[in-house]
Chains A and B, each alone.
Chain A
Amino acid sequence: DTGVSQDPRHKITKRGQNVTFRCDPISEHNRLYWYRQTLGQGPEFLTYFQNEAQLEKSRLLSDRFSAERPKGSFSTLEIQRTEQGDSAMYLCASSHTGTSSYEQYFGPGTRLTVT
């Protein structure tokens, strides 16, 4: 169990550019979640995958955001035409279907700064 990993840890981009983040969940964890955390706030749910299927999207996830989880392993979160309001910490979490479905393990996060 190597834990949830996220790449990159930090990303600085100019407004209008596209960015992509990657999350590698704990192996054999079939559930994967993305959250966004802005300064001084708790994390907010963005989207959820079970295996490769994206089963839920928050209304926070505008049309400029897209997430994928091909083959049910790693996941990517892409933001197109970034805006300053997208500056935040993007957290990924994973869990396993079964008796501990409720227990999510978080990665270190990707901190995005849009200038």
Chain B
Amino acid sequence: QAGLTQPPSVSKGLRQTATLTCTGNSNNVGNQGAAWLQQHQGHPPKLLSSRNNNRPSEISERFSASRSGNTASLTITGLQPEDEADYYCASWDSSLSAWVFGGGTKLTVL
């Protein structure tokens, strides 16, 4: 079952901006959007942004999601040490009638 493509790792400096990408196709990201999740080691995931790019009220404004064509992006501004985590995208695939996840991006804050 084909998943979404995410870079395995991204490294950025403290207070810099990181943009994480998630590439799918017209059956998923392109027409269904993508949700973004953050997971710290040893903890369950946390929703950062829903498929329609809405951010839950408890999530910092430093996190914003967008989409262009078949690629979804998560931008994190003013990087903080606590942003170091694994980030996953997820989308409904209309051809598979299934949700698909990306392999995850490990964000390191230098």
- Answer yes or no: do A and B interact: no
Binding site for A on B (CB under 8 A): none
